[in-house]
């Protein structure tokens, strides 16, 4: 998952500022932290805000909420699923995204999250040349086709990263021994 990306804002278990208030970064009654943050570092391959959009769009049943760029969106059982709303908390979450899972058996369920990009956009046919095209139009079409091929390669890499993130999401639920990282408020 973007091996050179910054992890400056990554974290699960809250610091003292989190402990002083209600936060999913604090262990719940079962000792489980149900939130994690992922640093936004597009220069090194992690567009966390695009990932937040994807998580919101896919609506895994374990999702409680996502906060990103001054917006908040709910999981399938929350208010207005899939709809970004204004988030008015003290931290707008510009440097990272915040993801929470639901509590209980559903939130503890094993399995990777389905974060694959929309198959329809991935499977669109490449355009073909038309007899009525000018030489310039044919050149532009050829360049666009090359760009699409390059994007497909990048999308394959992104899908691998997303699969790793989905596995990491599952890890946050299952592996309680990984809760020793402390995040800042």
Mean pLDDT, the chain cut into blocks of 10 residues (185 residues total): 83 70 78 87 91 91 95 95 93 93 86 68 39 57 54 64 70 49 46
Task: Report pLDDT for 143.
Answer: 56
For residue 164, being part of any structural domain is answered with yes
Distance CA(148)–CA(142), nearest Å, equals: 10
Q: Given the structure tokens 């936004």, which residue do they identify? A: 40
Q: By residue range, what is the domain housing residue 133?
A: 13-183
> Where would I find the H helices in 45-134?
48-58, 105-108, 119-122
Plot region of 76 (φ>0 → left; ψ -120 to 50 → alpha; else → beta): alpha
Task: Report pLDDT for 120.
Answer: 39
For residue 150, being part of any structural domain is answered with yes
For residue 6, being part of any structural domain is answered with no
For residue 8, being part of any structural domain is answered with no
Distance CA(169)–CA(62), nearest Å, equals: 10
Task: Report pLDDT for 184.
Answer: 46
Strands (E), the chain: 13-14, 35-39, 63-68, 71-74, 85-86, 96-101, 182-183
Task: Report pLDDT for 10.
Answer: 83
Structurally, how many domains does the chain consist of?
1
Task: Report pLDDT for 132.
Answer: 54
For residue 83, being part of any structural domain is answered with yes
For residue 178, give the nearest of 78, 32, 53, 56 by alpha carbon: 32
Threshold 0.85, pTM exceeds: no
- According to DSSP, the residues that pair with 38 across neighbouring strands are 97
For residue 7, being part of any structural domain is answered with no
**Looking at the chain, how many residues does it have?**
185
For residue 60, being part of any structural domain is answered with yes
């Amino acid at each position: 998952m973007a091996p050179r990306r910054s992890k400056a804002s990554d974290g699960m278990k809250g610091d003292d500022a989190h402990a002083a208030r209600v936060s999913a970064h604090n262990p719940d009654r079962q000792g489980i932290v149900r939130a994690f943050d992922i640093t936004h570092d597009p220069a090194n391959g992690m567009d966390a805000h695009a990932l937040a959009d994807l998580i919101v769009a896919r609506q895994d049943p374990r999702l409680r909420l996502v906060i990103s760029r001054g917006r908040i969106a709910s999981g399938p059982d929350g208010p207005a699923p899939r709809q970004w709303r204004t988030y008015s908390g003290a931290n707008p979450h510009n440097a990272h995204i915040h993801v929470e899972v639901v509590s209980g058996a559903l939130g503890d369920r094993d399995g990777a999250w389905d974060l694959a990009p929309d198959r329809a956009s991935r499977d669109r046919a490449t355009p073909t040349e038309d007899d009525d095209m000018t030489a310039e139009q044919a050149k532009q079409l050829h360049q666009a086709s090359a760009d699409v091929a390059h994007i497909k390669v990048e999308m394959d890499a992104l899908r691998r990263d997303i699969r790793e993130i989905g596995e990491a999401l599952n890890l946050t639920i299952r592996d309680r021994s990984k809760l020793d990282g402390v995040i800042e408020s």
